[in-house]
């Protein structure tokens, strides 16, 4: 018998660590989260994203709109892909 819960924990931890790294760099290198239902959200600053145990929380702020809502909860098991966007040029 395979214990899916024990196999799932390392995968979720890897996703969380990778997302945290992307979020830290998002001020200089924004990225887009694409969900399995076709929705997508751009992360352009670390202040507007938070990684929890198995979810990514995106919040709205000045110049940042996660699809009209004040916040969006993105469950890891519904993340389809991450797309890197053009790097911002230094001012």
- Beta-bridged to residue 75, according to DSSP, are 55
pLDDT in tens, 79-91: 888 888 887 565 5
pLDDT digits (tens, 9 = 90+) for 5-32: 445 556 566 688 889 999 999 889 998 9
Residue 43 and residue 33 in contact, taking contact as beta carbons nearer than 8 Å: yes
CA 36, CA 39: separation in Å to the nearest integer? 7
CATH number of 4-84: 2.30.30
Give yes or no for residue 3 having a pLDDT over 80. no
* CA distances to 4, 26, 75 from 82, in Å: 25, 12, 14
Rounded CA separation 58/66 (Å): 7
pLDDT in tens, 31-75: 898 999 999 988 888 998 999 988 999 988 766 566 677 889 999
Domain spans in the chain, listed from the N-terminal domain onward: 4-84
């Amino acid at each position: 018998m395979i214990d899916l819960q024990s196999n799932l924990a390392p995968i979720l931890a890897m996703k969380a660590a990778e997302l945290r790294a992307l979020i830290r760099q998002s001020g200089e290198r924004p990225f887009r989260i694409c969900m399995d239902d076709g929705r997508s959200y751009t992360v352009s600053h670390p202040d507007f994203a938070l990684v929890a145990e198995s979810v990514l929380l995106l919040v709205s702020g000045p110049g940042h709109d996660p699809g009209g809502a004040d916040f969006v909860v993105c469950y890891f098991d519904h993340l389809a892909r991450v797309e890197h966007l053009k790097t911002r040029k230094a001012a």
